[in-house]
Structure 1
Amino acid sequence: MVNQTQWNSRIAFLLSMIGSAVGLGNIWRYSYVVYTNGGGTFFIPYLIAILIMGIPFIVLEYGIGFRHKDSFSNILKGINPKLEYMSWALVLIMYLVLIYYLVIVGWDLVYLGSSFNFNWGSDPALYFVKNVGGSSNLSNMANFIIPTTISMLIVWILVWYISHKDLNEGIGTASKILIPMLFGIMAFIIIFALTLPGASIGIKALLNPDWPMLLDIDIWLAAFSQIIFSLSMGSTISLTFASYLPEGSKLTDNVFIVIFANCAFEVCTAFGIFSILGYMSYTSGTPLVELVNEGTGLVFVVFPMIFNIMGPIGRIIAPLLFIAILFAGITSSVAIFEPMINSTVHKLNWSRRKTVTIWSIVGCILSLLFTTGISCYLVGIVDGLITDFCILLLIAIQCILFTWFYDIEGLIPILNENNKAKVGKSWVFVLKYILPIFLFIMWGIGVYNLLLNADNFELTIYGIITVVILIVSYIFTNIIEERH
């Protein structure tokens, strides 16, 4: 039996959990989602999504991890040996997320280096295509984008260095350093952005309510998707980190702290981002609607354009923004890596150092596939599969397994002990009935849109990934643990 390590302080656990939640999506995705889904109106379904999905499910993950002090694969195997296969499928899917997520962090590292001299020039869009993300032209897939490749290797080394250490020396220490710095940098950027001329233009555009949209299912789907994406629901990160908690730890209280910190960060960041967009609109005369982009378009094209016209202060804000994105990316990456580390250690009885080193080498090699001339295009394809198909389905299945085939009510006294926030029958009801139904509806819509818009190349990638995950899951499920 593997000796289960433990957090040496509550603050280490909380900051690590906040670090897992606060990632790239909080900085570049949330504001776009709010703006395109009813503005201020969006906060109503967003709050409801937190209350009926985010909090209940994360509490469930905390409770199960804390109760069993074991890996996700072993927990499902304990419920029914046949379920171990599904657990490895989920762990492998999250490992796949890590493989392309670190490429995106690598893009940011390229921009961090470029931000000191504004190497992106007067055409940031062209710079991104040539030096960072490439294009959708499949003829370029045989060529590596050297800056992205080098940056990806550096990021993988950083993640290996943090993850191969003991839990508290590695993830715990990194989170204690990086999370306060991340919040401090973003606070400075947000406060500065609010003082820019034209900031009010952006904020008004962000918050402008569109009340009829509350009757549109798309705004509700967007809110629930954002919570899933933002809190890394169903990824078993929360379950894994909670399994390291010592006896007597607070559980539900910690859930509220982590979710509040995550949501406060992304809401405040949205104000900062739209203040900067408002400044750009005010100074250039460009309609704000033409500046709003999701993800890479916003951070790697629009923002460099804004920094170009900001004058000397842009030379300060630009590196700070890309440093903040780097910190958010690194803390989320080590968290995404942890379920694979924990499951492998428990399955094969390997040392943490050996496990992290082997999986880092394998991951680094696979990440090379995402650093070619179709880097951004390929990342988008795989991310679409993971987001719209895999994660939603697996969260719904987990809801069913842990409420219908597991003693979920036995978790209630464990969760309520030492906590001010209590759970009861209504918590079980939400997880057992309401959440699975909503998740399957979202999954059905996501799969329909995914297949409707996919071309032959994308369908081929979907097929390859599915087959590989199924085969590797079968292999790991049937490996007999090494005996020492």
Structure 2
Amino acid sequence: MSQKSSSPRWESNISFILAMIGSAVGLGNIWRYPYVAYTNGGGAFILPYIISIICLGTGYKFKSGMSKILRKINTKYEYIGWFIQTSTFFILTYYVCVVAWNLLYVPLSFVKGWGSNPDNFLNTVILESTTDVSGLFHIAIYVLIALTIVWIILWYISHHDINKGIGKFNKILTPSLFIIMIIIVAFALTLPGSGFGVLTLLTPDLSAITNSDIWIAALSQILFSLSIGMCIVVAYTAYLPDDVNIPKNVLLVALANSSFEVFTAIGIFGILGFMSTTHGIPINELVTQGTTLAFVAFPQIFNVMGFIGYIIGPLFFIALLFAGITSNISIMEPIILSLRDKFGFERKKAVTICCVVGFIISLLFTTSLGSSLVGVFDTFINQFGVVLNVIIELILITWIYGIDKILPGINKNATFLKIGPKWKIWMKYIIPIIIFIIWIKGISESLITNDTFTNTVQLLLLVALFIVPLILTKIPAKVEDY
């Protein structure tokens, strides 16, 4: 057995902060939050969202990957650690493909290459999509090329030392993303009708504040946005030195993330307000989430903007690209750390294995059935896997391991932001119950609405989620202190 060398450390606190912000600020902030906020009470959504951040936006201070952490609690829990990271890895495989779609739209946006019918262009030219199972045997060549490029970018950034790779590139990409969004929002607010769009977003439906669905939606969004249950916080904090103020850093990340979401939503609704007032289309018909908003609705809006669309369009898709890359880098890190913990791989080898396996799986999403598979994977992994991961982590860490054993490490260097008894009550009782409700609701809704194809894919996914962790658990460790 080999003896693991000393773990790398972030060269500065700002490297950690920017990496965490880069992880949190992803495509979901730009195309998911505005929709969720609007459909859940408008301005009234912000209050429970902030409360959710206070409840969940708190990091963990461990110095290992999740599988090793749980093995230290009890050897039989190692399987659970790999289970959590397997679902995270599956997210990476399809999320990379969505970033690949976006990469194709960056050069297209300079010439509005999607033409007068962005919906048809996306589905026919780019995705070559079909709902027939035979689509699995046809590759969308543009998507394949873009996907290969994205995987190469992720490998190049991640195979370096933590500071020369993730740290260095987040110092460039994260601030650049914020600057681009500031430009977009500033311009959006000058458009005719932008005020109407922003007012539509922020006008609260106060009656909605008592609706439990609002609170569940807020909690779901913060789980999605801060990647709670995906082990990213655990992985990144593993590289922290011992003299860091954990609560303060996590609060900064949570505030940066939420501020970016609200700020971006204002800009997006400013643009939607412009489209609504100039073309007489009700905003509720324009507001969508995901690929429809990014690759159909916004290209349509850029088309009617005239010359200005040639400026805002590229900025928008470059922002999406930066957000996607920083998020994908972070999603890959937990499995890389755990592979190194157990098998003693050099970082370059662990990253290469992760990228090669991920690339092979993601080829599924380059087929003509790819966009449908992305939807099925995303719904199932998030509603079943990630939410279940959060519940498992909370129970294991707060109940089985003992929350009182964690508090001294978290509060060690804290000043005015210290975690006390009220936080423990929330983490042990209130939040697990609320998240369990989210999980049951998501699963039940899926079972009611799923068709045969979706159920089949989800069944195969479920089998993989249980078998892959079993294999990784059974393989003997190569590191002495694992």
Q: TM-score, normalised by structure 1?
A: 0.96
Instruction: Give how far 1:290 is off.
Output: 1.5
Residues 24 and 327 in structure 2, CA contact (< 8 A), matched pair in contact too: yes
Aligned equivalent of 2:22: 19
Aligned equivalent of 1:127: 121
Residues 341 and 479 in structure 2, CA contact (< 8 A), matched pair in contact too: no
Letter in 2 for 1:13: F
In the TM superposition, what are the counterparts of 1:180-199 in structure 2 within 5 Å? 180-199=175-194
Instruction: Give how far 1:413 is off.
Output: 2.4
Letter in 1 for 2:14: I
Instruction: Give how far 1:318 is off.
Output: 0.6
Aligned equivalent of 1:308: 303
Aligned equivalent of 1:425: 421
Secondary structure at the counterpart of residue 390 of structure 1 = helix
The one-character-per-residue Cα deviations of 1:131-189 (angstroms, maximum 9, x if unpaired) are 33424343433211111111111001000001111000000001001001000000000
Letter in 2 for 1:34: A
Distance 1:196 1:404 in 2: 53
Aligned equivalent of 1:438: 434
Aligned equivalent of 1:158: 153
Matched, 1:224 2:219: yes
Secondary structure at the counterpart of residue 407 of structure 1 = helix
Matched, 1:90 2:93: no
Letter in 2 for 1:10: N
Match of residue 470, structure 2, among 444, 451, 474: 474
User: Which range moved further: 155-164 or 143-152?
Assistant: 143-152
Distance 1:472 1:272 in 2: 42
The one-character-per-residue Cα deviations of 1:213-264 (angstroms, maximum 9, x if unpaired) are 2232221211110010010001110011001001211211001100000000
Distance 2:373 2:213 in 1: 26
Aligned equivalent of 1:30: 33
Aligned equivalent of 2:4: 2
In the TM superposition, what are the counterparts of 1:61-72 in structure 2 within 5 Å? 61=60, 63=61, 65=62, 69-72=63-66
Distance 2:125 2:232 in 1: 33
Distance 1:268 1:124 in 2: 26
Residues 253 and 419 in structure 1, CA contact (< 8 A), matched pair in contact too: yes
Secondary structure at the counterpart of residue 480 of structure 1 = coil
Letter in 2 for 1:86: I
Structure 1 residues 118 and 348 mapped into 2: Cα distance closer, same or farther (>3 Å)? Answer: same
Matched, 1:144 2:139: yes
The one-character-per-residue Cα deviations of 1:358-410 (angstroms, maximum 9, x if unpaired) are 22111111111011112221101011011111111110111111111113212
Residues 198 and 275 in structure 1, CA contact (< 8 A), matched pair in contact too: yes
Letter in 2 for 1:479: I
Distance 1:230 1:214 in 2: 21
Distance 1:401 1:226 in 2: 23
Matched, 1:255 2:250: yes
Distance 2:78 2:362 in 1: 27
Structure 1 residues 135 and 273 mapped into 2: Cα distance closer, same or farther (>3 Å)? Answer: farther
Letter in 1 for 2:121: Y
Distance 2:236 2:80 in 1: 20
Aligned equivalent of 2:110: 116
| Identity value in percent | 47
Instruction: Give how far 1:287 is off.
Output: 1.9
Aligned residues: 475
Aligned equivalent of 2:171: 176
Q: TM-score, normalised by structure 2?
A: 0.96
Aligned equivalent of 1:367: 362
In the TM superposition, what are the counterparts of 1:244-283 in structure 2 within 5 Å? 244-283=239-278
Distance 1:387 1:132 in 2: 26
Distance 1:177 1:456 in 2: 45
Aligned equivalent of 1:385: 380
Distance 1:399 1:167 in 2: 28
Letter in 1 for 2:104: V
Aligned equivalent of 1:285: 280
Letter in 1 for 2:145: I
User: Which range moved further: 254-263 or 125-134?
Assistant: 125-134
Residues 39 and 206 in structure 1, CA contact (< 8 A), matched pair in contact too: yes
In the TM superposition, what are the counterparts of 1:32-47 in structure 2 within 5 Å? 32-47=35-50
Aligned equivalent of 1:238: 233
Letter in 2 for 1:2: K
Aligned equivalent of 1:415: 410
Distance 1:174 1:19 in 2: 10
Distance 1:107 1:452 in 2: 30
Moved over 4 A (4+): none
Distance 1:102 1:329 in 2: 8
Distance 2:51 2:76 in 1: 35
Instruction: Give how far 1:483 is off.
Output: 5.9
Unaligned runs of 5+ in 1: none
User: Which range moved further: 147-156 or 205-214?
Assistant: 205-214
Aligned equivalent of 1:339: 334
Secondary structure at the counterpart of residue 477 of structure 1 = helix
User: Which range moved further: 288-297 or 336-345?
Assistant: 288-297
Distance 1:39 1:480 in 2: 52
Aligned equivalent of 2:70: 76
Residues 21 and 332 in structure 1, CA contact (< 8 A), matched pair in contact too: yes
Secondary structure at the counterpart of residue 137 of structure 2 = coil
Distance 1:295 1:468 in 2: 26
User: Which range moved further: 99-108 or 205-214?
Assistant: 205-214
Matched, 1:99 2:81: no
Residues 175 and 331 in structure 1, CA contact (< 8 A), matched pair in contact too: yes
User: Which range moved further: 169-178 or 42-51?
Assistant: 42-51
Secondary structure at the counterpart of residue 18 of structure 2 = helix
Residues 287 and 293 in structure 2, CA contact (< 8 A), matched pair in contact too: yes
Secondary structure at the counterpart of residue 401 of structure 2 = coil
Residues 4 and 479 in structure 2, CA contact (< 8 A), matched pair in contact too: no
Match of residue 394, structure 2, among 392, 396, 399: 399
Instruction: Give how far 1:321 is off.
Output: 0.6
The one-character-per-residue Cα deviations of 1:33-73 (angstroms, maximum 9, x if unpaired) are 11111111111221222222x22xx33x2x2x2xxx12211
